[in-house]
Amino acid sequence: MSGRLLVVGAGPTGLALALQAAAHGADVRVVDRRPEAFRPSRALMVHARTLEVLRPLGVVDDVLDRADTAPRARLHLGRRTVPVELDRFDLPDTPYPHLTLVRQMDVETVLAAALDRAGVRVERGVELLDVRDGAAGAAAVLETPTGTEHVAARAVAGCDGVDSTVRRLAGIGWRGGGYDREIVLADVDLAAGGPEPGLAHVVVGRRGLVFLFALGELARWRLLATRPARPGTPEPGRPGPPVPVAELQELLDEAGLGARLTTVAWSSTVRLQHRMATAFRSGRLFLAGDAAHASSPAGGQGMNTGLQDAVDLGWKLALAPGSTAPATLLDSYAAERRPVDERVLALTHALFWGESATGPLAGLVRGTLAPWAAPAMPFLLGRRRLVAEGVRLLAQLRTRYRGSALSVEAGPARGAVRAGDRLPDRDVAVDGRPTRLHELTARPGVHVLLDRDARCPVRPGGLLHVHRLGDPGRGALVVRPDGYVGVRAADAADPAVRWWLGRVGLVQDRHGVVAGPGPVVPAQA
């Protein structure tokens, strides 16, 4: 199963998948039908778990340089206003215990630049016309600026959005439905004396929610609001026409923010849907991100879920040629990610009902009960553990793959972390030097964490890294490239360790295990 990996779509999911695959030795080609990279951002938030899985790819510092990691908000509940501080939560097991507001376009820019440094150039204005899965590989037909091109690929990753061409050509179903509501987006400037600058304003009203962020791209403010879908709104996944200025002003007036529009630089409507692909894989054709699932923007899950799909699939596609069981390795992608994505879809569906439903019950909750409960909000927000649990859920820090074929328990190992769990960050000592665990694993590849007295079962090299911690014992944790524990062994010499490394494509020889090609993307702590 050798050859080039073709990634269709250069949004956040496609770029991250290509970067993860390239970092683990794959020959990658990325194409996108859009002639230009820029488009107004629809996503504005990156969660803690997403930053964790991107960290080994050396891009997180650049993302954070463009982000607001200490946002302050005003929650408007009727006539009451509640200040909300979002700069730090009680999350000691992650390096990113904060809310991170950042434009989708900034994330794409950082990922594309990292790919370019890795020698992978995004080919724009290139459209997929046809793709077929065959016995010897996948065959694709591309329409390029210079004509039609027939290409062969060992696998095709469809990261081409909710109207995915890869999904359609693969014959994969698209189950679910559309909402009778739509999102209004606009980049605007406001007259002086309006909403307090430097804050995110969230208005909870009977008709829905209105968000006003100082994250506009073509103007200072980004306006986001929910409303019933209007006649003529395009099908889900396609941007609608500009919104009349009078309608935007009406949304602001109903929100009671005292905001007067002076400039509308860009506006659009987006029809939403809740759908899931009936399969994430058909032979050598794979789906990730919005091509595999579409949800409402509630909870800021869409881009984050796609990025986590990408990081899961990217290393598996890269290492599959050397695997002792490539089918098992590649099948684990859907087995792991589909249940997670289904839970995210259910969560966002429930949150979106609360945010935007137009029925009497939802109107009562937002218009009457929420303002009535406003005085209790400072008390609730002050309960650090309660708030942290809510953030942990939204940030996907609870995600785990204990039932995966790649999660192996070898012996009665101690400790709370089990195979399939996310590796939590903590203070550790390596050769007497204090460090943080996620700093230790912040480079591409598989990381073997040995207890103090464990016998090293492998020879490190390339994409295989071995670290001896100061913890007493003889056990080991084997950590996957996406930061999940693949093996928990009571004794590091257990044959399960080598067996698992062979399964994920690290080649065995008479000396133990050695990795394939070294990482293409430089590590960043």
CATH of the domain at 498: 3.40.30.120
CATH code, domain carrying 143: 3.50.50.60
pLDDT of 300 higher than 90: no
pLDDT of 520 higher than 70: no
pLDDT of res. 521 = 33
Q: Specify if 94 maps to a domain.
A: no
By DSSP bridging, strand 138-144 and strand 147-153 are antiparallel
Q: Are residues 486 and 441 in the same domain?
A: yes
pLDDT of res. 379 = 47
Q: Specify if 106 maps to a domain.
A: yes
More confident residue, 476 or 78: 476
Q: Are residues 480 and 498 in the same domain?
A: yes
Q: Specify if 135 maps to a domain.
A: yes
Q: Specify if 70 maps to a domain.
A: no
CATH code, domain carrying 236: 3.30.70
pLDDT in tens, 422-437: 999 999 998 888 999 9
- Sorting pLDDT into bands at 50, 70 and 90, what band is 240? confident
pLDDT of 111 higher than 60: yes
Q: Specify if 380 maps to a domain.
A: no
Element (H, E) at 446: strand 446-450
Stated pTM of the model:
0.91
pLDDT of res. 368 = 52
pLDDT of res. 168 = 97
Q: Are residues 283 and 153 in the same domain?
A: yes
pLDDT of res. 523 = 30
Q: Is 377 left (phi over 0), alpha (psi -120 to 50) or beta?
A: alpha
Cβ–Cβ under 8 Å, residues 82 and 378 = yes
Cβ–Cβ under 8 Å, residues 269 and 240 = yes
pLDDT in tens, 383-412: 667 677 777 888 889 999 999 999 999 988
Which residue range is the domain that position 118 belongs to? 5-58+102-173+278-354
Q: Specify if 498 maps to a domain.
A: yes
Counting residues of the chain whose pLDDT is more than 70, the rounded percentage is 88
Of the ranges 34-43, 69-78, 226-235, 441-450, the best mean pLDDT one: 441-450
CB atoms within 10 A of CB 430: 15
More confident residue, 186 or 205: 186
Domain boundary among 337, 354, 371: 354
pLDDT of res. 236 = 67
Q: Residue 138: name the closest of 309, 297, 285, 329 by CA.
A: 285
φ, ψ at 54 (rounded to 5°): -85, -20
pLDDT of res. 94 = 96
Cβ–Cβ under 8 Å, residues 411 and 489 = yes
Total tally of structural domains belonging to the chain: 3
pLDDT of 455 higher than 70: yes
Q: Kindly give, in sequence order, each residue whose CB lies less than 8 Å from that of residue 168, ignoring residues fewer than 6 positions away.
A: none
Q: Are residues 132 and 186 in the same domain?
A: no
Distance CA 122, CA 115 (A): 8
Q: Are residues 115 and 251 in the same domain?
A: no
